[in-house]
Amino acid sequence: MAARVVSPTGRGFLLLDAHPTGCFRSVADMVAQIPPPARLPEHRPVALVIGSSAGYGLAATLAGLRRHGIHGVGVAFERPPGRRTGTAGWYRTIATDAVAAEAGSDFTFVNADAFADTTKAEVLDLIEKRFGQLDFLVYSVAAPRRTDPRTGTTYQSVIKPIGAAHTTRTLEFDGDGTPILRDVTAQPADEAEAADTVQVMGGEDWSRWVADLQERNLLRTGFRTVALSYIGSSLTSAIYRDGTIGAAKVHLERTARELDERLAAVDGRALTSVNGAAVTQASTAIPGIALYVSLLHATLGDALQSPVEQSVRLWDQLTGAVPFDLDEQGRLRLDRWELDPAVQAAVAERWRAITPETIAEVADVDWFRAQFRGLYGFDVPGVDYAEPVDPDLEWPAPR
């Protein structure tokens, strides 16, 4: 594919193409937020990050590389360039590989379906051959479907309330970027939809990774694993925490307790890490979240902790530099800034007060729009979007 101008076309919060230079720049901007250590540790920990190309998994990979010089493997599932550009995660992975090179890390990126047994076998072989054993596993997958390779069944996840229909206010943008406030009603999930969502976003696949690693004796003594979870506000609870995705998170948290017991054999730990709201491809698909995050940012400004800031704190706790900040249910909490009662009261007040006329003042809609377009490499400061760019770039080869 020759160099060409790449533009943000698409519908709603889904764009069809990604801008390579914008994606590179957004990774560089994330790295710039990570304070480097005085020097990298002599013993490089070995980490596996599943979901390493976007959102919280990308932030954890970058923070691990920059602050701890991790060796290891990142797994993501991205579309290569073809008729359209590659997905944004394709280009962010190329940029992350350069960050790994700069940190002197032996880090390999695997583009494959994490749910497949073939992927697990490939990644475990790689870990065994290159590193012998693993110190950390960060599980940060957000997927719309999962095929269970052991039964061949494909499950679709849905984002729906459970029990009753729910109407929420939402933020959308029209073609020229004008914000629109609308009410949308989500019908409740039936039992099968709720169960299928647990199959996709619950803890089963995480548990299989850990079991396979343990079976092959690839877990180093003191191994630690976290899977990402979310609780969120009462403003979004009908659609999130009390809905289908929330049921999957409850399953994930139960899985953490089971794995934690199983890992006693290697003096290991398994925890869920409850992170705060962030603008990601996964979260913009949830009705009401765009509005909620825009109001959260209007309330908090720079005190809204970015995925990178939270990931720095996550690594501090994983490596034992600071003790785990656990709640009474044993979950690692990185979201306390979001769920602070004063913050939630202020967001709720804005949520109630907002009207179609005041939306641009009461919510940080410009910030949100730039964040969501930034997920595809657009609206990134310092990028010349009139400049043709070659999207036909290779996935990083193992070094």
Ligand X SMILES: NC(=O)c1ccc[n+]([C@@H]2O[C@H](COP(=O)([O-])OP(=O)(O)OC[C@H]3O[C@@H](n4cnc5c(N)ncnc54)[C@H](O)[C@@H]3O)[C@@H](O)[C@H]2O)c1
| Stretch of 20-28, 215-223, 233-241, 278-286 lying at the interface with ligand X (CB under 6 A) | 278-286
285 binds ligand X (CB under 6 A): no
Q: Which residue reads 């990185």 in tokens?
A: 334
- Is 139 assigned a catalytic role? no
Would you call 264 exposed, middle or buried from its count of C-beta atoms within 10 A (0-12, 13-18, 19+)? exposed
Interface pattern 43-72 for ligand X (x via CB under 6 A):
--------xxxxxxx---------------
Using rule CB under 6 A, residue 142 touches ligand X:
yes
Q: How far apart are CA 73 and CA 81, in angstroms?
A: 22
User: Could you say whether residue 236 binds ligand X (CB under 6 A)?
Assistant: no
Q: What are φ and ψ of residue 51, in 5° steps?
A: 100, 40
214 CB contacts (<8 Å, ≥6 apart)? Answer: 262, 263, 265, 266
Contact between 310 and ligand X (CB under 6 A)?
no
Q: In this chain, which of 34, 45, 47, 78 binds ligand X, going by CB under 6 A?
A: 78
Residue with tokens 């596993």: 137
- In angstroms, what is the minimal distance from the CB of 87 to ligand X? 8
**Smallest gap from residue 31 Cβ to ligand X (A):** 17
Cβ proximity to ligand X, 220 vs 373, nearer residue? 373
Q: Is the dihedral of CA 140, 226, 36, 310 positive or negative?
A: positive
- Residue closest to ligand X (Cβ): 55
User: Where does this chain touch ligand X (CB under 6 A) — which range of 60-68, 110-118, 182-190, 364-372?
Assistant: 110-118
Question: Taking a C-beta distance cutoff of 8 angstroms, is the pair 189, 160 a contact?
Answer: yes
Specify which residues 143 forms β-bridges with: none
Phi, psi of 49 (to 5 degrees): -115, 120
Does 235 sit near ligand X (CB under 6 A)?
no
Q: What's the closest the beta carbon of residue 214 comes to ligand X, in angstroms?
A: 20
The number of residues that bind ligand X (CB under 6 A) is 29
Contact residues for 84 (Cβ-Cβ < 8 A; gap 6+): 16, 17
Q: Which range of residues in 123-131, 153-161, 270-278, 389-397 is near ligand X by CB under 6 A?
A: 270-278
Q: What is the DSSP letter of 375?
A: T
Q: Which member of 240, 292, 376, 385 is catalytic?
A: 240
Would you tell me which residues interact with ligand X (CB under 6 A)?
Answer: 51-57, 75-78, 89, 113-115, 140-143, 228-230, 275, 277-278, 280-283
Question: Which residues are catalytically annotated?
Answer: 240
